[in-house]
Structure 1
């Protein structure tokens, strides 16, 4: 306890610069062990002082202060302690750092926000603190979409998972899909962003989460967003189609170049397929995908795919698109109750296939989707 009190004195704003810098480095080193992290998390006064140093005029002190906050926020105990600080809002301070185009450690600030919002119960607190700071989601998306926003070299890629974390919340999704806000549409181009796998994956995860709100499916599939071709594009390769087949596809999927590559990460492909699956929950969604002939992209993707979970998802979507609505028998599949014995049978079959067994759809039929 005496050691922590001494550390507090050296971290004080009016302490000598060299002592303050050394003390901040010591605090950063403490975060390198579970015991050190737990110790700092149990001393909110130290965390509050460290928070005040993130914009210190001494750059090494500010950087070490940020390192402390990144490491502490990565642990559940530490994240809870930071969000409970009295006298200052860690979220407000991090947002100030992200918004400042001349702050050199904005990437650390994005990391703190991403860590704090990772768990859903903490994410809601972060959201409330952000709202209390009069910062809206569209402001963060505006910053994310400006590749050279930070003039000190910060890339701000970790701002993308912050937005993904907010998509866990109904209020977050509501702001993202505000039809007058044009937030959702600004995220879509980053689905094909090659400079950062993390940014691309986070944006796709955000869009994936939004697809679980069936109330907005009509908007997502309509002209304002036209999401289905955007989800299918990363799954497409240098496929060869007839002139009639190409003409049946949406413009973004027609006559793709010979060097077109499919999304290389199976986790990303799974999210894309799951999003398409959610859009097939309603009759309107299924008919839209049929009218856009998304089946053609799925058919060629199936020939290429090697990940068993992706293959299974692909086949489930195709199964719905090939069947007629009379065969499906329900406009909204989310309300259909599957008998317990059938549910268990399906789960067992899926588990057997994922473990290496055979699939009932080892090859997809070369036929047109139902009309």
Structure 2
């Protein structure tokens, strides 16, 4: 594809020696970076030289002057948009660039931290993102005592919610990153094993956000929970309470699915304490995608007999029964029906596992690409 001479010159200005010219070029190229722009391919020009230039220009985020920060913002916006392209993602995922992103994300003074989280989230659509599992950094005072990149990202996500670490960032988009990391066995292993630096299962840190006010955060966490449930060997550990070194995940899955319904004594007998007597003001999760992800997590838990028995004993059926009556979207109703069908089915052979492929495990990324 041929491009206008003026546009070719514009991308070449990204590596001009004059910082003001670089700033103007980055600003004018933001619109071209959208995946829907017909001339988006200009960033592949000269063997992807514009991408290499943008990687350099985001380092301006380290500088205090307004021109540098604006250049970094526009360059980062371009990279977030362009990272929907698999070829661009392959150019971004290397140890050096991952460490650069980590430094920006974990800095409590970084005004663009959330945008860097968006970029990392898009990069996680590539299988190469597993490289981050091996990345180590220096501990960050007041943020994380761990040297592992994954631990540091977990700490900023948990501690930084609602701008508690960084006045300019809430780190919600890291939920999408975690969701995509748990597509891989290595990612699930990380979330389901106690980490050396604090002795805590990472999944137990994020499940508390299933009722958080941010839809972005809830979406990422719900998908992370669902993906972790693909590990059938961990089902009873997920369902066990903290006293038994478990995650006690059931209340965090069920609470968002519940409304103000009242249950009789028989239905409540065995129901998690957190799910009882919720009151007239209890509101059910409003997002269909989050509800389906949580229902799929329950469905995955039914693939092992001990977990099915526990779900029945904890009165999951009446909760999903009432939910089915209240929801209107066919997709959500169908997800409810799949769970109910398994829980109400008679067990045939003792210890026999479900043979049906209840929820297909997929290598496809979770969630949507992020553009600015």
CA distance in 1: counterparts of 2:270 and 2:70, whole angstroms: 59
**2:99 maps to what in 1?**
92
Residue segments in structure 1 that go unaligned for 5+ positions in a row = 344-371
CA distance in 1: counterparts of 2:336 and 2:312, whole angstroms: 14
Q: 1:323 to 1:18 in 2, by over 3 A?
A: closer
Counterparts of 1:178-257 in structure 2 under 5 Å?
178-179=193-194, 180-194=199-213, 196-224=214-242, 225-257=247-279
Q: 1:55 aligns with which of 59, 62, 79?
A: 62
**2:111 maps to what in 1?**
104
Q: 1:310 to 1:185 in 2, by over 3 A?
A: same
Q: 1:39 to 1:155 in 2, by over 3 A?
A: farther
SS of 2:62's equivalent in the other structure is coil
Q: CA deviation at 1:132?
A: 7.9
Q: 1:45 to 1:292 in 2, by over 3 A?
A: closer
**1:272 maps to what in 2?**
294
**1:74 maps to what in 2?**
84
User: For residues 151-170 of structure 1, what are the alpha-carbon distances to aligned partners after superposition, in whole Å with 9 as ceiling and x for unaligned?
Assistant: 34222211111111111121
Q: TM-score, normalised by structure 1?
A: 0.79
CA distance in 1: counterparts of 2:150 and 2:132, whole angstroms: 12
Q: 1:244 to 1:60 in 2, by over 3 A?
A: same
Q: 1:281 aligns with which of 288, 303, 321?
A: 303
CA contact (8 A) 1:123 1:165 kept: no
Q: Name the Cα RMSD after superposition.
A: 2.7
Q: 1:69 to 1:216 in 2, by over 3 A?
A: same
Q: 1:6 to 1:233 in 2, by over 3 A?
A: closer
Q: CA deviation at 1:295?
A: 1.2
CA distance in 2: counterparts of 1:208 and 1:56, whole angstroms: 41
User: For residues 112-144 of structure 1, what are the alpha-carbon distances to aligned partners after superposition, in whole Å with 9 as ceiling and x for unaligned?
Assistant: 10111123x23324445x358853322212111
Q: 2:187 aligns with which of 172, 197, 213?
A: 172
**2:120 maps to what in 1?**
113
User: Which stretch of structure 1 is more off in the superposition, 252-261 or 141-150?
Assistant: 141-150
| Larger RCO (CA under 8 A, 6+ residues apart) | 2
CA distance in 2: counterparts of 1:319 and 1:66, whole angstroms: 48
CA contact (8 A) 2:291 2:332 kept: yes
Check if 1:321 corresponds to 2:331: no
Q: CA deviation at 1:193?
A: 0.6
**1:348 maps to what in 2?**
none
Aligned residues: 326
Q: TM-score, normalised by structure 2?
A: 0.79
CA distance in 1: counterparts of 2:47 and 2:63, whole angstroms: 22
Q: 1:313 to 1:16 in 2, by over 3 A?
A: closer
User: For residues 208-245 of structure 1, what are the alpha-carbon distances to aligned partners after superposition, in whole Å with 9 as ceiling and x for unaligned?
Assistant: 10001001001001112222232121111111122343
Check if 1:299 corresponds to 2:321: yes
Q: 1:314 to 1:172 in 2, by over 3 A?
A: same
CA distance in 1: counterparts of 2:175 and 2:120, whole angstroms: 10
Check if 1:161 corresponds to 2:167: no
Q: CA deviation at 1:261?
A: 1.3
CA contact (8 A) 2:132 2:150 kept: no
**2:283 maps to what in 1?**
261
**2:23 maps to what in 1?**
21
Residue segments in structure 2 that go unaligned for 5+ positions in a row = 139-146, 359-372
**2:158 maps to what in 1?**
145
**2:93 maps to what in 1?**
83
CA contact (8 A) 1:117 1:166 kept: yes
Q: CA deviation at 1:6?
A: 4.8
CA contact (8 A) 1:63 1:105 kept: yes
User: For residues 154-206 of structure 1, what are the alpha-carbon distances to aligned partners after superposition, in whole Å with 9 as ceiling and x for unaligned?
Assistant: 22211111111111121111111114433111101100012x11110110000
